[in-house]
A = this chain, B = another copy of it.
Amino acid sequence: MNAAVGVPQPSAQALVPFVSVAEMMAIVHRVGLEVALGELAARIEADFKRWQVFDKTPRVASHSPIGVIELMPTSDGERYAFKYVNGHPANTRTGLQTVTAFGVLAQVETGYPLMFAEMTVLTALRTAASSAMVAKHLAPKGAKVLALIGNGAQAEFQALAMKAVVGIDTVRLYDVDAAATEKCARNLAGTGLTVQTCASAEEAALGAQIITTCTADKRNATVLHDNMIGDGVHINAIGGDCPGKTELAPAILNRAETFVEFEPQTRVEGEIQQMAPEFPVTEFWRVINGEVAGRVSDKQITLFDGVGFAVEDFTALNWLYSHVDGSGAMLDVIADPDDPRDLYGMVMRAKP
């Protein structure tokens, strides 16, 4: 790109595939959204099964008074991935996104990047696929009805992943903002799901076997009260995902069996930040591994306190890389002098 006439062109080694937002969306359509969500859920389950091979460092956060920028790296010894993600609630006032993300997949053997990718869309896919994979194991058998409380950017992906992976056929929608519910209902029309809009969270929860909370307010809110939760329900709480942001009444946590991704991170970011440090939780990979039982009775309330972990992004980037077919953009990002010691000569030979 931008090579002046007569300047040597970058070698193949210098070029790294780049999945833009447009290409990400093209891949979703090429694969099919529900197929993609199913593939992702299967890959996330497989990576949870080998959880212990991953190098799990805490995310590296840079906080400012109005937001946070985080780097989330992990590696399985063969591949390395990181995600850059910001969180700036005031952004929407100026027409910007609260959260944007991009990431890089690299080869551990050489340290060379394999792919750069947008990750705003990809994160929505991996979050929905993770929720559905967990629900497949924890929701009561034959669950058909999903309550979706919070109908923002994640909602449709959550609904379709629960359809593709768990077999949900009905979604009951509620949001404090009726326009969000209307948008979500409109988007889900024609997907094969029966869509019911509700006037309250209580109404949405009625008859649902799975209740997903994915609200956006950054505060300790109570989206679900204790009296809304009947026996046997699976709660998929994904909106409480950073310090000071929770969605559930503590009484629910006391009744439920709580499952998390990576305990040290969830203690800080999840619903359990409201509870004592010794509040018992189970890392979900132990269920996948067969070490610990998941749901043990029809009456049990199960809770997935999902905050999003680097391993899921690693899985998502590897899934995406498997669908990159070489037709997309390439970035000339690796300096590749003919003689590794002659970086200066390479620069000088590029003189226009």
Chain A residues close to B by CB (< 8 Å): 1-4, 7, 10, 13-14, 18, 20-23, 25-26, 28-29, 33, 55, 57, 60, 62, 64, 66-69, 71, 73, 75, 77, 80, 82, 84, 86-88, 91-92, 94-98, 100, 102, 104, 106, 108-113, 116, 118, 120-121, 124, 151-157, 180, 183, 187, 327-329, 331-337, 339-348, 350-352
Contacts and interface: CB of A to CB of B under 8 A. Distances in A.
**Which 10 A-B pairs rank lowest in CB-CB distance, beginning with the nearest?**
A86-B111, A120-B335, A156-B344, A25-B350, A20-B332, A153-B343, A152-B341, A1-B329, A88-B111, A3-B22
21 contacts: A1-B20, A1-B328, A2-B22, A4-B22, A10-B21, A14-B21, A60-B60, A64-B77, A64-B108, A67-B109, A69-B75, A82-B84, A120-B335, A121-B335, A151-B341, A152-B341, A153-B342, A154-B343, A156-B344, A157-B343, A183-B345
Nearest to A160: B344
B343 A109 contact: no
A187 B348 contact: yes
Contacts of A92: 340
Given A67-B111, A153-B341, A332 B22 contact: yes
Contact of A183 (B329, B335, B341): B341
Nearest to A67: B111
Contact of A62 (B26, B73, B98, B113): B73
Given A55-B62, A124-B344, 15 more contacts: A1-B18, A60-B71, A60-B73, A62-B80, A69-B73, A84-B104, A88-B111, A96-B110, A96-B112, A97-B334, A97-B335, A97-B340, A120-B335, A153-B342, A187-B345
Contacts of A345: 183, 187
A332 B331 CA distance: 12
Contacts of A21: 10, 14, 332-336
